[in-house]
Structures are given as structure tokens and as C-alpha cells.
Amino acid sequence: MTRGRTRWRRRRSWWSGGILRRRGIGWCSIRRRTRGITWALQAAMARLEDEFRHLLARGMSPLAGEDLHASLLRRLSLTVPSFASSASDLDCPSFASHTGDGDESGGAGGRASVSDEEISPYLISPDTVGALRGIADVMLRAGYGPELCQVYGEMRRDTLMECLAVLGVDKMSLEEVQRVEWGVLDGKMKKWIQALKVVVRGLLAEERRICNQIFAADAEAEEDCFTEAAKGCILQLLNFGDAIAIGKRSSEKLFRILGMYEALDEVLPELEGLFSGDARDFIKEEAVGILMRLGDAVRGTVAEFANAIQGETSRRALPGGEIHPLTRYVMNYVRLLADYSRSLNQLLEDWDTELENGGDNVNMTPLGQCVLILITHLQAKIEEKSKLYEDEALQNIFLMNNLLYIVQKVKDSELKTLLGDNWIRQRRGQIRRYSTGYLRSSWTRVLACLRDDGLPQTMGSSSALKASLKERFKNFNLAFEELYKTQTTWKVVDPQLREELKISISEKVLPAYRSFVGRFRGQLEGGRNSARYIKYNPEDLENQVSDFFEGRRPNA
């Protein structure tokens, strides 16, 4: 933090110094040159200076209305990101406090373009620029370039700073940026990303063109005036970017930081090209330093996110074995990482990717390796949370629900490209093993009631066989009804998986029940209370199985 304050002081020093001081002219007061110049010439130059100031002020009048923001954007031939929400599922109260509009990506949304017919190609009218050039030519020939540059620098700097405020980038100290709550900071980061492109490609590019026209007679004056006009808004943008880069890391900031990193990386060559000499060297050094620190913040935030997954400690078992909020949060978070694959493959190139996973990460991109680590951490945490359920069958339902959600998020996004088809096949095999585990733990006892093992031989005592059959049917009915009561409240979220499990149950239970009833119905029919034991026909059981895994409320 101390180094951050030092950098801000350095930028303030550059801001308050300036071209005019380099020429030996005070910033607060410009002394008139000299004794050899007549009072009449001084008076004439003073009047021209006032007129120059007046024209600069009047030339910006169209941007002073109520709809300044819309007017400004219409004047700039730009395509500006609209930042549509793309992460509405990024919400896991027990894992991270994510607020705001849900766009962690900071750039995965659509783009809103401005029609060429609506764009005015200037910030000062051409007539005004022509008048300003005429005054500048006279003052420059008379040796009044420094006075001219002071007026231009002050007026245009204030105008550009006003435009920056309209774009939503307020002047904030390092401490203010660090203290602001996340919901507010999120909005400011979003506006910064938009404003940076508007400022560099629109405002400053236009300002450079204006300077070129007004000060065509003196290239040095052009450079000086542009630098004095532009450096205020550039420093304000850089200071905010630096404050974010060195700020406290938390998982919800990652996509905004990535958006800032990509925006600065994208416009850096154009920003550097706007300046020359010492000003260009200074701006480049500052911007490159901030870009590196934003990259460090990205890597640190990803590591923080991985640690947060491993450290998640909620102990509440979800009713019915549904998808855990942690699974939803992590997978939607990870899915958004793929939108920044170009930047993240660069930034994560040296990230720690060692995993004991049998070599799954061989030949993966840096982002693919990172995603694999995060999902592996999530799977381990889900395995751990499955132990919160005492019922082994429900453990398997919970694991199926969560792993299938993970697989679907991978399969239906760019994550499939990162992890590959083999990864998906392996996880689908794991889901089948969970399904087998569920069937074994739930239905083994039920099916045991429908086997011949242990029944008295038919040639023996008929009464003993009937008693055994009554016990078998009674136990089957109790076991099936208990499963029905319990497992109709469980929830298998995916409709296809839900139907596949019901089919698997029917294929195991119905043939065994139909065979058992067919062979032994005659032993009980006609006897007293036989309907108490053979309560169901196969169609009844099939109808009841269709109610399983629907997440019904108990006693509903």
C-alpha cells in the first residue's frame, strides 16, 4: 500500500509540473515578455488570449445540456460494451457474498453500437476550430506560445475532466477506492472499462486532431497543449486502475479486474501513440506497471478462489439431495473464465498446476489446467458433503445430481474445449457408478424378499410355506412403502437422469415381483386376508415408481 501511495504522489508531481514550467514559465502566473515589446502589442495579445478562451468555452456548449452523457457517446464513433448480465447463478451465500448485477465477467455480454448517422465527428465545431487556429497563428508568430498553451491546457483539461465525470469516473483517492463497498465499487469498475475506451479512442483521439489543426504552425506547441489538456483524465483513469490492482482480493472482483486488464491491454498501443517524448515514456511506464499489477491481481484472485472452495465449511445437508449452492456458484464462475481464455492463458502460464490426477492435465492450456484444478477441488468438496447424509442411497443421489450438473456445464460451454471429451466420458462413468451404488443400497433388501432362497419346499408342509410367503410379501410391502414414502421426497434435478433411474428400478423390481407373484399367488389366494399380503399388482408398482425423485413435500 505504501508503494501505491508513492506512485500516486509521483503522478501528482507530473500533473502539477508540466510543459510550461519546463519552459521557465510559472503555472500560476505568466509574466509578460518584455521590455522590447510595446504596450500595444501586449494589449492586443491579451485581447486575443481572451477571445481564444471565449471561443474554447463556446465551442463546447453542445455538451453542456441535460443529456450530456448520451450526447457525448453519440459524438464518438465507437462500439461500447453493454455488459449484459451473464452470471445470474453466481450466488452462494455460504461461500461468497456476490452482489451487483451478476456480471462477474465484466465483458461477456452483448455490445451496443452507435449508428454512423448519429455521430458528429467533432467535439469543437469546425468553424470554431478555424477561428482558434487564426488566433493561434498570430500569437505563436508573436512569441506568445506559452500563454496560448496555458489557456488551452486549462480550458481543455477541465472540459475533458467534465466528460470523464459524465462517463461515471469520479476523482477518488487511493483510500477512498479501498474503503468503498463492493456494490458501489463494482459499478465504478464497470464504468471505468467503458470510459477507458471512450476516452482513448474517442475523446483523446479527437483532442489530438483538434490540437493538430489549431497549432499546425508549431509542432512543439501542439505537443505541449495536447499533453496539458489530456494528462488530467489519463492520470485519473490510471490512478483508479492502480487502486483496484493493489486492493484487497476477493473472488467476486475477478471478472471486473479481468475486464479492466483486457481494456487497458487493448488500448495501450493507441494510448501510447497519442503522446510523444517524455510524456509518452511516462504514460507507457505507468500503464504497463498497472497492467502488470492487474495481472498479478487476477492470478492472486484465482488462487484465492481455489482456496475458498477448499475452505468452504457449511454443514447443512440439502433436503432431497439436490444440487448444492457451492456447485452452482463454482461452475457458473468457472464457466465465465472461458470468456477470457486469451488473457487467462497468458496470465496463468506459470500458475501452480500440479494435481494428483493421473495425468489428466497433460497438453492442456494454462486455463484448462486452472479449470481442472478448480473443478477437482469442487468434486472433492462435494464428496465430503455427501457424507452429511446418513442414507447411503441419498448420498449417491446427491453425488449424481451435483456431478451431472458439473458435466452439463462443461459440455454446454467452452469448458468442453478446455477439458476435452475424455474428461466428460470419465465423469459420465462416475455417474453410472453412483447410479449402481444407489440401486444396490436401496433395492437389495426389497429384491431379497422376492427370491426363493430360504422358502420351505412345496412338497413339505403347506402351512410352513404359506407362513413364509406371508412374511415375504409383508416385508416386501413394508420395504417398498418405506422407499416410496422417503424417495418421492428426494429430487433428481435432471429430467433425463430422473427417468433413467425410474426405468432402472422398474427393470429390476417389476420382473422379479411379477415372477414371484405368478409362482406363489395360488398358495395364498382363497385364504383368509390374502389381499393384505398381495397388495399390489405389477401395474400398481410401476405407477408408484413414477412418483420417485420428484421432490414432493412429505405428507403431500
Residue in the structure block whose three cell numbers are 486469451: 342
User: How far is 320 from 397, CA to CA, in rounded Å?
Assistant: 8
Cα distances (Å, whole numbers) of residue 96 to 122, 222, 253, 287, 382 = 46, 51, 11, 31, 17
What are the cell numbers at 241?
A: 486502475
56 HSE (CA, 13 A, CB side): 27
Burial 168-203 (b: 16+ CB within 10 A, else e): ebeebebeebbebebeebbebbbbbbbbbbbbbbbb
Calpha distance 128→167 (Å, rounded): 25
On the CB side of 257, how many CA atoms lie within 13 Å of its CA?
30
What are the φ/ψ torsions at residue 112 (nearest 5 degrees)? -110, 120
* Residues 401 and 323 sit within 8 Å (Cβ to Cβ): yes
Element (H, E) at 117: none
Type and span of the H or E element at 100: none
Characterize the bridge pairing of strands 79-81 and 111-113.
antiparallel
- Provide the pLDDT for residue 25: 43
- Which CATH code of 1.20.1250.20, 3.90.950.20, 1.20.1280.170, 3.30.565.10 fits the domain covering 38-73+121-308? 1.20.1280.170
DSSP annotation of 96 reads B
Which positions of the chain have pLDDT values less than 50?
Answer: 19-37, 61-68, 77-89, 93-94, 96-121, 353-359, 459
For 463-498, give one letter per residue: b (16+ CB within 10 A) or e.
eebbebbbebbeebbebbeebeeebbbbbbbbeebb
CA angle 225, 229, 232 (to 5 degrees): 140
Number of C-beta neighbours around residue 71 at 10 A: 15
Who's near 548: CB < 8 A, 6+ residues apart? 483, 484, 487, 488, 490, 501, 502, 505
Give residue 56's pLDDT: 87
How many whole angstroms separate alpha carbon 52 and alpha carbon 152?
8
CB atoms within 10 A of CB 36: 6
* Distance separating alpha carbons of residues 295 and 536, to the nearest angstrom: 66
- 462-487 vs 538-545: helix axis angle to the nearest 10? 20
Residue 102's region, left for phi above 0, alpha for psi from -120 to 50, else beta, is left
**What pLDDT is recorded for position 384?**
96
| Phi and psi angles of residue 491, each rounded to the nearest 5 degrees, phi first | -125, 115
Spell 113-147 as b/e; 16+ CB within 10 A means b. Answer: ebeeeeeeebbbbeebbebbbebbebbbebebbbb
Question: What b/e string do you get for 80-103 counting C-beta neighbours within 10 Å, with b at 16 or more?
Answer: bbebeebbebbbbeebbebebbbb
Q: Is the pTM of this model over 0.85?
A: no
| Location of each CATH 1.20.1280.170 domain in the chain | 38-73+121-308, 442-547
CB-based contact 143:33 (threshold 8 Å): yes
Measured distance CA(552)–CA(320) in Å, rounded: 9
Which pLDDT belongs to residue 452?
A: 84
Which residue type sits at 17? G
Q: Using an 8 Å Cβ cutoff, are 189 and 170 in contact?
A: no
Grid cell, residue 405, equals: 450438473
| Cβ–Cβ under 8 Å, residues 115 and 241 | no
Which cell goes with 176? 477512498
Q: Alpha-carbon distance 202 to 73, whole Å? A: 9
pLDDT reported for residue 463: 82
Name the phi and psi angles at 450, rounded to 5: -105, 15
Residue 172 C-alpha cell reads as: 477518488
Q: Which helix (H) or strand (E) holds 111?
A: strand 111-113
d(CA 312, CA 384): 11
Phi, psi (rounded to 5 degrees) for 61:
-55, -35
- Cα separation, 254 vs 97, whole angstroms: 13
Beta strand residue intervals within 334-463, DSSP E? none
Q: Considering the domain 442-547, what is its CATH architecture? A: Up-down Bundle (1.20)
